[in-house]
Amino acid sequence: MIRLRLKTSIVYILSIAFILALMKFTNIVKYNLPYTMVKSYFVYVNEMNRYEQLVFDKKGGAFSNVEHPNEEDELYVIIIGESNNREHMGLYGYYRQTNPLLKKISTELVLYKDVISPHANTISSLSKVLTLGNYEMPEMKFKGLIFQLFNKAEFETYWLSNQEPIGTHETGITKLTKSADKRFFVNSKSNRKKSPFDDMIFTPLAKILQEKANKKFIIIQLLGSHVDYANRYPPDYNKFTETPLTDFKNKTAYTQINAYDNSILYTDFIISQVIEKVKNTKIKSYVLYFSDHGEDVYKASNKAFHAEDYKSKYMYEIPFLLWRSEKFINNTNNLVFDINRKYMTDDLIYSIADLSNIKFDEFVAKKSLFNNKFEYRKRIILDSLNYDTFF
């Protein structure tokens, strides 16, 4: 009897294994929803646990012998935009002036022409941008986080976000930001819905700027141009209402493109305000703005979206601009600011370390956009596509 049961069980297990193997080799598995869901769930739980273990030590991470001079006050700010395709920015030559305020201070900006994101969605992209993980070594994202590096360099570190802290897409990022000294979440609504506008960040930002610490590192995450675009700006910014230039002649396209451009116009206001507030402190400082990824707004097809499965360059092309205070400019002659360098932001942690004069044993000079030893590296997206030759 027992033997018979054992036999039946083996037959069952072998059959399931055979079906799964067949599905995998025939590629059916890719489209099998229950399988994908179960697999994604386990991957997700595993990732969460690994991040949890990592952020437990705020001064941990694979950064040895971290060194940073302690001579003067410093204030370094990174603004991460949301779904901002640079081609819709007046600063980058868009036919509509969606950056009137940044344009006024354009001589103070270093505007990089060819920077791309490693992925076309927030979580995949930022889990590389904010960690040691990159395309060649994605697992390194569990080995070191940008806040851990700055904590080790004796900075006070802050995460200030207008994106929902708990949600299917943002949870991994929320987890890794636990390594910051202080976190401020100004939005508890779903990202897609009508949420608070990005100006919500100004109150906590003012509070942070007043804090006593003499070395501050702040990362601000905007809601920027997240769908639905029309929910991202107050009525005063509903400026672009005429029929836009597009190959797709339909009313939905016109409405969406206009709303998208208005959201970029509002982001122009937010970035300019942050720069002004930082500038007013007169501390040695920089503000770096880039987007988590781009967005295809009625360019390659008759819709506006971002998704990894679609091979659209608009989902990867991001703005990347740097503002530096006078004190910063006068004290960083060793850095190189070449706007034509082709860069992918999965190696950004090395650039930020370099820009902030933080040294550590594992630093790789050729991966830093601002280093004279910088080397162009193939920009691989979607596992094997060479961005520079494919598009």
CB of 83 to Zn ion, least distance (A): 5
Return the number of the residue (116 or 278) whose C-beta is nearest Zn ion. 116
Contact between 305 and 296 (Cβ < 8 Å): yes
Which conformational region is residue 196 in: left (phi greater than 0), alpha (psi within -120 to 50 degrees), or beta? beta
CB of 163 to Zn ion, least distance (A): 9
Beta bridge partners of 74: 215, 284
Return the number of the residue (85 or 134) whose C-beta is nearest Zn ion. 85
Altogether, the residues listed in the chain come to a count of 391
Kindly give the pairing relationship between strand 343-344 and strand 380-381: unpaired
Return the number of the residue (177 or 368) whose C-beta is nearest Zn ion. 177
Q: Which residue has the tokens 């950004």?
A: 348
Kindly give the residue spans of alpha helices, DSSP state H, lying in the chain. Answer: 2-25, 28-31, 33-55, 100-104, 122-129, 146-152, 171-176, 202-210, 251-280, 326-330, 348-355, 387-390
Return the number of the residue (91 or 227) whose C-beta is nearest Zn ion. 227
Which conformational region is residue 142 in: left (phi greater than 0), alpha (psi within -120 to 50 degrees), or beta? alpha
Beta bridge partners of 284: 74
Return the number of the residue (119 or 367) whose C-beta is nearest Zn ion. 119
CB of 154 to Zn ion, least distance (A): 31
What count of Cα atoms within 13 Å lies in the side-chain half-sphere of residue 34?
2
Contact residues toward Zn ion (CB under 5 A) are: 82, 122, 292
Return the number of the residue (292 or 346) whose C-beta is nearest Zn ion. 292
CB of 293 to Zn ion, least distance (A): 5
Beta bridge partners of 291: 81
Closest residue to Zn ion, Cβ-based? 122
CB of 47 to Zn ion, least distance (A): 18
CB of 32 to Zn ion, least distance (A): 27
CA separation for the pair 104, 273 (Å, rounded): 12
CB of 141 to Zn ion, least distance (A): 17
CB of 25 to Zn ion, least distance (A): 34
Beta bridge partners of 321: 111, 289
Return the number of the residue (124 or 272) whose C-beta is nearest Zn ion. 124
Per-residue tokens: 243: 């029929």
CB of 120 to Zn ion, least distance (A): 9
Return the number of the residue (151 or 191) whose C-beta is nearest Zn ion. 191
Return the number of the residue (82 or 198) whose C-beta is nearest Zn ion. 82
Beta bridge partners of 344: 116
334-355 burial code (b ≥16 CB/10 A, e <16): ebeeeeebbbbbbbbbbbbbbb
- Residue 18's alpha-carbon distances to 33, 36, 42, 165, in angstroms, are 18, 17, 21, 41
